[in-house]
Structure 1
Amino acid sequence: WPKGIITLGPGESARQVVLKKIQELSDLDHRDPFMVADLGILASRHQVFCQALPRVSPFYAVKCNNSPWVLRVVAALGTSFDCASQVELKQVLSLGVAPSCIIYANPCKPVSYLQYAARHRVQLQTFDSEEELTKVAQHHPKARLVLRLWTNDRESTFPLSAKFGASLEVREHLLKSARDLGLAVVGTSFHVGSSCQNPQKFTQAIANCRRVFEMGRGVGHDMSLLDIGGGFPGEEGSKPEFEKMARVINAALAQHFPEETGVEVIAEPGRFYVASVCTAAVNIIAKKAVLEPGGYRKLLYYINEGHYGTFRVFLREPVPRTPIVVKEFCSEQPTFPCILYGPTCDAGDKLFMDEVQLPELDVGDWLIFPSMGAYTSVMSSTFNGFLPASIHYTMEPALRSLLETAP
């Protein structure tokens, strides 16, 4: 077992590991940023997903967090995988995952990646254009294709339909083009955008898929697969609640794709599985007080992790996250508007666009950010020579036993 894997003792939590690590680093005066991952959360999230959406088979979205340990646990739990590149395909196949348990869910694929998928018998893949069909016909004619549909996802935190998805006007044409090229279209897919804010978007998208199923069957395709994509909330206390979203999805499936139709339903959850897995701990390396007009104080804190590290995705979130301050105060402290800057020399290196309210802190103090497992480590860089935060993995003995016995 790698040195970074920590087996939790009886009653021990990952949060306790975070605080212990903070104390150790502070004693050594070596306060580099780090994350602690609780791999046991993956098992609990998987159970919640399967109970709430019993007809839906999860294909974990590798792009969200491609840690080898995350992928190994997810594979041991029995999920399939959503891959978007040759590297992700290699990573998942190396775990012994069957090619039939992978969907290559990127509608725009380089020729060499298509050829790799063909060589390794990864047949299920998405498309949304005639040009993609031409490439597939030449380089992977045995592919089982899924037509990705445009979806109104403007209310989502991270909309995707500006880049991907076939419009209503071209769907029948694409289905006929695939038939004329000798390609098999087996179903449809959509994505309501990451962190979907309106569950009803699933209802409309599923209804649209039903119409495209009829189009596909009308031109000779055996339509048997529905991919409802991702967009499920992952952070604790997220709105809307996952349970409410699941009820909306189940109702739409019952209306448009009842079980007796035999249609296989899959999804591509990523954030839902891993957002709550990781907790980040960062340190204040510098500080500056600014006097605003009217005599108000604003504090600038410079943190040893930022936009070019694990916080890259958070500049796109509408509301900044307020961290947990690891410091004891004798009494309740006043708070001030604060800007959290990252460590690089780029003035745009901020953790969030807006200010957060924090008490006055000192250089050397620690801040904790929960729910940092989604789109954090995968987006980190070494810009300006700052290394990504180290990651320490924890698991309970039962999960360790599962991994040791998994094929």
Structure 2
Amino acid sequence: MNVAGKSQTAAEQGTVFTRNFVALFHQNKVTMDYIQESDFTMMEEGFTVRDLIDKIINEASQTEERDAFLVGDMEEVVKKHLHFLKTLPRVKPFYAVKCNNVKPLVKILAEMGSGFDCASKAEIELIKEIGVNPERIIYANTCKQISSIKFAANSGVQMMTFDNELELVKVSENHPKAKMVLRIANKDSNSSNDMNAKFGAPLNTCRHLLETAKNLNIEVIGVSFHVGIGCLDPQIYAQSIADAHLVFNMASEFQHKMTLLDIGGGFPGTVEAKISFEEIAAVVNSALDTYFPEGSAVDVIAEPGRYYVLSAFTLAVNIIAKKIVQQDAPESHGERNNPCKSAFYYLNDGIYGTFSRLLFLCGYPKLIFHKEPSPEQPLYMSSLWGPTCDPMDQIAEHLYLPELCIGDWLLYYNVGAYTIVTSSTFNGFHPPHIHFAMSPKAWEDVLLLKRRFEQA
């Protein structure tokens, strides 16, 4: 574990902060394994994540190895968790592991009492490995392999989703003690990534599915839905909660004891989103009061993913190559734009790495120059490319940028969701190294939340 600060030497910082925080963790019976195994920086007051990025870049610039890297701001994750609990007080988060599965992140969420939405055997293994009770896991995948169903059964994971009759038959034969959650389809939510094409049972099939479960002696305990990514209409949450209430009523006809409502994910991860988290929360809270009021003996969970991690991770990439192409005097757009040439910049991360999210239409990360260029510099039509030999490995095109140099750094904010998990080693390029950072105040919040969770 590293310690970053501005007023002490590295040795002094390590002596003061490492000893105190190791002792603090041991006093509170919190394992340090996931910290000691990671590149983790404890930042003293006044030292920001951007300071840490600058420090890493300055050190890398003294060498020839100027590899791309990520910085995960775990304090941002803690703040998001606290805000979630405050804004949706009746909803317990079950973090969507598929969104970002790095161990320090999921371990910190576990310490704060989060549950987990797992979609595969490997994700269940990860969450079990960090010591999470299987009661805090929902196997939220409606199309499961038989061997994975058996693994969940042997691991003590009982909650799992379904949306069709054949899935019920598989579960009845391989995990008869499962507690099933019926995933229903949503009406059109105008989401950028609609889930209904692949998942969810239409309302007119739910009564049959509930009856089938009863005949197979399979317990159905609740209903789930997911409005999709980039939802533009928060009222779809209210409509889906109302639909879930109808299914609860159907379930009573077949003596299913319904105790769980899972409102899924789709929550925005940045303040720039067209629909804010607070707007969605207001709609959800009102709908819960109407259809599942307090005292109704129904637990409400959600599956936030990008909400927690999108804004918590920053990518630093280096320009490793450059090509200038002379133009035949095209039209100029704007006073600073120079039409005489265009620039191709090749970065040491691309579509097969952190930028893989672009393939899934999840939005474009925010680009920042590490060294802010002069406002007087002319702008050239530019394109950004990844390091592989695939001509499809293009990050961006038609950008008007000042002329950049080989060795310059670019920063991308909001890269925490569906980036690390979808990276590959195509062409032998490995995903960027991840540095984690947090302040002492955030650690104290983690410990406080851990104690509250254990006492609840």
Aligned residue-pair number: 406
Residue matched to 1:374: 417
Q: Give me the whole-angstrom Cα distance separating, in 2, the residues matched to 1:262 and 1:368.
A: 48
1:313 to 357, 369, 375: 357
Segments of structure 2 that go 5 or more residues without pairing to the other structure are 1-35, 332-338
Q: How far did residue 401 of structure 1 move?
A: 6.2
CA distance in 1, matches of 2:382, 2:155: 51
CA distance, structure 2, for counterparts of residue 3 and residue 65 of structure 1: 16
What is the aligned counterpart of 2:262 among 214, 222, 227?
227
Structure label with greater radius of gyration:
2
**CA distance in structure 2 between the aligned counterparts of 1:176 and 1:292, rounded to whole angstroms:** 71
Output one character per residue of 1:155-183: Cα deviation in whole Å (capped at 9) or x when no partner. 22222211111112211111110000001
Q: Is the Cα–Cα contact under 8 Å of residues 199 and 240 in structure 1 kept in the other structure?
A: yes
Aligned 1:48-59 pairs, distance under 5 A: 48-59=83-94
Q: Deviations 1:104-143 (Å, cap 9, x if unpaired)?
A: 1001111111111111211111001111000100010111
1:150 corresponding residue in structure 2: 185
Residue matched to 2:315: 280
User: Residue 330 of structure 2 corresponds to which residue in structure 1?
Assistant: 294
Deviations 1:300-358 (A, max 9, x none): 22111001001101233375444101124344334344321111011111224x53332
Specify whether residues 356 and 259 from structure 1 end up closer, same or farther in structure 2 by C-alpha distance, changes over 3 A only. farther
| Contact 2:190/2:232 (8 A) holds in 1 | yes
* Secondary structure of residue in 2 paired with 1:280: strand
State the distance in 1 between where 2:211 and 2:52 align: 57
Aligned to 1:160: 195
For 1:154-233, what aligned pairs fall within 5 Å after superposition?
Answer: 155-233=190-268
Task: For residue 354 of structure 2, give the secondary structure of its aligned residue in structure 1.
Answer: coil
Q: 1:177, 1:247 → 2: CA distance?
A: 36
Question: Which deviates more, 312-321 or 111-120?
Answer: 312-321
**CA distance change for structure 1 residues 401 and 250 in 2, over 3 Å: closer, same or farther?**
closer
Match of 2:406 in 1: 363
- Percent of aligned positions with the same letter in both sequences? 45
Equivalent AA in structure 2 for residue 259 of structure 1: E
Q: Does the 8 Å contact 1:58/1:79 carry over to 2?
A: yes
Contact 1:64 1:271 in 2 (8 A): yes
Alignment of 1:83-102 (within 5 A): 83-102=118-137
Q: Is the 1:57–1:265 Cα contact (8 Å) retained in structure 2?
A: yes
- Worse-matched range after superposition: 59-68 or 212-221: 212-221
Give me the whole-angstrom Cα distance separating, in 2, the residues matched to 1:21 and 1:78: 32
Matches within 5 A, 1:125-144: 125-144=160-179
Shift of 1:94: 1.4
Deviates more, 1:65-74 or 1:252-261: 252-261
The one-letter code of the counterpart of 1:170 is: T
Q: How does 1:8-87 map to 2 (within 5 A)?
A: 8-87=43-122
1:386 aligns with 2:421: no
Q: Is the 8 A contact 1:315 1:350 kept in 2?
A: no
- Secondary structure of the equivalent of 1:315? helix
Separation (CA, whole Å) in 1 of partners of 2:139 and 2:368: 39
Change (3 A) 1:155 1:356: farther
- Give distance in 1, aligned partners of 2:375 and 2:279: 40
Task: Name 2:373's counterpart in structure 1.
Answer: 329
> Which stretch of structure 1 is more off in the superposition, 161-170 or 125-134?
161-170
Deviations 1:234-285 (A, max 9, x none): 0242221111111111111112211132211100001001111111000111
User: Which structure 1 residue ranges, 5 or more long, are not aligned?
Assistant: none
State the Cα RMSD in Å: 2.0
